[in-house]
């Protein structure tokens, strides 16, 4: 947390070597690229800034020493961030596979993704017994090539409107078999290649499989998911828990009740909370209180499908992202803005020429703001240099006037880092 110190001691010596609904085309931003400042209450900004310092940064102390352990004052130190430690992503569609401009725009910004439709059951088995994974396979390969983590979305969906008609027509015994085949098929295919699964999508709001297979259907499904993929996070994923305080079906208390029910079946390890985040006009105070209550479950929280349908879209998106990022329980954010030439579901980040729309400008501004600036400085009389760094992966290079070589070391700064983390690199 804020004030904790990660110390890196560097020695001279040898070198050692991250859709549903109608489509809408967004409007282009007419302003000149740059930072656009909106009026936000001072107390909100101060709270978010303090929380970011406490939650997303640490103070790193680097000490340059010679082979005998003596401090080296006046050593030149360069610190460059290679990758952010906070997962920030965006949904993609199969439109990315053949569009180089889309690929370049996406991979230069994001470190995690969710497929809009291509890993859903109705996309993989539209007709019974005829599985189709070509798009999902290609998209997983694309993500791996660019070092982008993938969330598996989703294994099954509890809203009957999103269950194929052939599935709904099955008798109970055959339905159970079909669901089991689905779990085996998609999870065995992609385990080890996804970091998370939305196991039973929207199962706080809806209960299709419970109505057909018994009230503990979701809990049984999560048991099976854990057996099939021991390493991925297993998410509940639902909407309106953050967005509005008036949906009694999915209040934070109802969400936690469902989570505990599933955990009571032995599903304690690797569980996580997914909050879709399809906002109209955001109520930031309510969002904060909801996150505070959900944080009591002591499991990771992600915002998984963030978008905004509101005339003041960009401003609202910025408020939402800042509030989520400043909350200590939130461990990742995925924006629901998969690009299609005919438009996006509710929110586009870019136009068809991959020039940012206002919402895209917000995302770029925050990516820049949540990244450590390059550091180039010299060590003090004790051979020390201190820097406040965002969580992430860094390259540290140290030179000293008495040596013709450089010391290079990688450093990871994260919430799990110890107060003192000593790196020894001989130059």
Share of residues in the chain with pLDDT > 90 (%): 78
User: Which pair of structure tokens corresponds to residue 145?
Assistant: 């090539």
Q: Which domains does the chain have, with CATH numbers?
A: 5-82+372-413 (2.60.40.10), 87-369 (3.20.20.80)
Of 56, 20, 19, the C-alpha closest to 332 is 56
DSSP state of 183: H
Cα gap 23→19, rounded to integer Å: 9
According to DSSP, the residues that pair with 196 across neighbouring strands are: 151, 233
| 264-319 pLDDT tens trace | 998 888 999 999 999 999 999 999 999 999 999 999 999 999 999 989 999 999 99
Report the alpha-carbon distance of residue 316 to residue 385 in Å, rounded. 39
Cα distance between residue 197 and residue 222, in whole Å: 10
Q: What order do you get walking across the sheet with 384-390 strand by strand?
A: 5-11, 57-65, 384-390
Q: What confidence score (pLDDT) does residue 109 get?
A: 98
The lowest-confidence range among 69-73, 270-274, 389-393, 404-408 is: 404-408
Q: What is the DSSP string of 208-235?
A: HHHHHH-TTHHHHHHHHHHHH-SSSEEE
Q: How far is CA 161 from CA 80, 121, 215, 238, 306, in A?
A: 49, 13, 19, 15, 22
Catalytically annotated residue among 116, 125, 243, 305? 305
Higher-scoring residue by pLDDT: 62, 141:
141
Confidence of residue 16 (pLDDT cuts 50, 70, 90): very low
> Measuring CA to CA, how many Å separate 223 from each of 159, 176, 305, 373?
20, 14, 25, 44
Contact (CB, 8 A) for 292 and 254: no
- The pLDDT-based confidence of 130 (bands split at 50, 70, 90) is very high
Would residue 98 show up in a list of annotated catalytic residues for this protein? no
Confidence of residue 43 (pLDDT cuts 50, 70, 90): very low
- Give the residue-averaged pLDDT of 28-46: 36
Question: Can you tell me which residue has the tokens 């004790």?
Answer: 382
pLDDT at 41: 43
Active-site residue identified among 202, 243, 276, 318:
202
Q: What is the pTM of this model?
A: 0.88
How far apart are the C-alpha atoms of 359 and 350, rounded to whole Å?
Answer: 8
Residue 108 has pLDDT above 60, yes or no: yes
Residue 6: the pLDDT is: 45
Let me know if 202 is a catalytic residue.
yes
The pair of structure tokens assigned to 55 is 């939650």
Residue 111 near residue 82 (C-beta atoms within 8 A): no
How many angstroms separate the CA atoms of 106 and 93, rounded?
A: 11
Question: For the chain, how far is it from start to end, CA to CA, in angstroms?
Answer: 32
Q: Supply the pLDDT for residue 405.
A: 74
Band (253; pLDDT cuts 50, 70, 90): very high
Query: pLDDT tens-digit profile of 200-224?
Result: 999 999 999 999 999 999 999 999 9
User: Taking residues 30-38, what's their average pLDDT?
Assistant: 30
């Amino acid at each position: 947390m804020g004030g904790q110190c990660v110390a890196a001691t560097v020695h001279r010596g040898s070198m050692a070597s991250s859709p549903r609904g109608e489509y809408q085309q967004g409007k282009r931003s007419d302003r000149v690229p740059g930072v656009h400042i909106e009026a936000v209450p001072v107390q909100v900004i101060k709270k978010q800034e303090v929380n970011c310092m406490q939650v997303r940064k640490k103070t790193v102390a680097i000490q340059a020493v010679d082979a005998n352990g003596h401090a080296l004052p006046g050593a030149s130190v360069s610190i460059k961030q290679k990758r952010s430690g906070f997962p920030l992503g965006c949904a993609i569609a199969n439109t990315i596979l053949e569009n180089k401009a889309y690929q370049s725009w996406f991979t230069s910004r994001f470190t995690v993704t969710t497929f809009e439709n291509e890993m859903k059951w109705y996309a993989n088995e539209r007709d019974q017994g005829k599985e189709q994974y070509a798009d999902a396979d290609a998209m997983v390969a694309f993500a791996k090539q660019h070092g982008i983590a993938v969330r598996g979305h989703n294994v099954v969906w509890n809203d009957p409107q999103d269950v194929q008609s052939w599935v709904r027509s099955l008798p109970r015994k055959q339905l159970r078999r079909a669901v089991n085949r689905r779990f085996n098929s998609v999870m065995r295919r992609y385990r080890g290649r996804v970091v998370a699964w939305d196991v039973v999508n929207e199962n706080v709001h809806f209960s299709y499989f419970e109505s057909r297979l018994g009230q503990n259907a979701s809990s049984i499904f999560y048991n099976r998911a854990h057996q099939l993929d021991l390493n991925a996070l297993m998410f509940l994923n639902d909407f309106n828990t953050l967005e509005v305080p008036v949906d009694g079906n999915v209040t934070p208390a109802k969400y936690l009740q469902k989570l505990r029910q599933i955990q009571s079946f032995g599903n304690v390890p690797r569980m996580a909370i997914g909050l879709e985040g399809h906002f109209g006009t955001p109520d930031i105070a309510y969002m904060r209180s909801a996150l505070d209550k959900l944080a009591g479950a002591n499991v990771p929280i992600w915002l998984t499908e963030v978008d905004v349908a509101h005339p003041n879209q960009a401003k609202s998106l910025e408020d939402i992202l800042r509030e989520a990022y400043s909350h200590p329980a939130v461990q990742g954010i995925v924006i629901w803005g998969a690009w299609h030439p005919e438009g996006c579901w509710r929110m586009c980040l870019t136009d068809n020429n991959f020039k940012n729309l206002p919402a895209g400008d917000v995302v770029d501004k925050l990516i820049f703001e949540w990244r450590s600036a390059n550091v180039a400085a010299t060590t003090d009389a004790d051979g020390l240099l201190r820097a406040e760094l965002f969580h992430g992966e860094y390259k540290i290079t140290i030179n000293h006037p008495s040596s013709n070589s450089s010391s290079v070391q990688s450093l990871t700064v994260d919430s799990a880092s110890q107060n003192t983390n000593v790196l020894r690199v001989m130059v």
